[in-house]
Amino acid sequence: MNSSERKKSAGWDDQRIELIIGTLLRAGVLLSASVVSLGGIVYLARHGHTIASYRAFHGDLSSLRSCSGIAHGVMQRSGRAIIQLGLLLLIGTPIARVVFSALAFARERDYLYVAFTLAVLAVLLFSLLGAKP
């Protein structure tokens, strides 16, 4: 097999992988948007009449800064926690894409790109798990 033939078949494979990735991303976005909407309805029904004030930053006091804090809030059916869960799913969507890309490159036996993809994944996981509140 000469190099141009190999390129052609690799191109076809890449094309198919990209199609699957596109669908994966769209599903992730739709799922997270649904969860955010659900949480939004709960939040507005309970707190819609209160006064909104975001002039000052109180984020460092929020309990919704960690996965365990969000899980705890969702158990108590807090609207804000459900929204945050949806946002967590949204952040997870491109990460799922990177995981899938690593598997796809492994199937193509393109180990250089498996290494590149795992490097990206390491940075993403470091951000999500390594950053302490």
CB of residue 125 vs another protein: minimum separation in angstroms?
A: 8
Residues with Cβ within 8 Å of 59's Cβ and at least 6 positions away in sequence, in order, are 65
Min CB(34)–another protein separation in Å? 10
Site residues (CB under 8 A) for another protein, limited to 9-38 = 10-11, 14-15, 17-19, 21-23, 25-26, 28-29, 32-33, 36-37
Question: Considering only CA atoms, which of 74, 77, 94, 96 is closest in space to residue 85?
Answer: 74
- One-letter amino acid identity for 104? A
CA distances to 1, 20, 21, 107 from 13, rounded to whole Å, are 16, 11, 12, 10
47 binds another protein (CB under 8 A): yes
Size of the site for another protein (CB under 8 A): 74
Q: Whole-number minimum distance, CB 75 to another protein, in Å?
A: 16
Of 67, 116, 125, the closest CA to residue 96 belongs to 125
75 binds another protein (CB under 8 A): no
| 87 lies in the binding site for another protein (CB under 8 A) | yes
Q: d(Cα 69, Cα 39) in Å, to the nearest integer? A: 16
- Pick from 1, 2, 5, 50 the residue near another protein by CB under 8 A: 50
Position 42 contacts another protein (CB under 8 A): no
Q: Give how far Cα 109 sits from Cα of 6, 27, 98, 106, 117, Å.
A: 13, 27, 16, 5, 13
| Least distance between another protein and beta carbon 89 (Å) | 10
Please tell me whether residue 100 binds another protein under the rule CB under 8 A: no
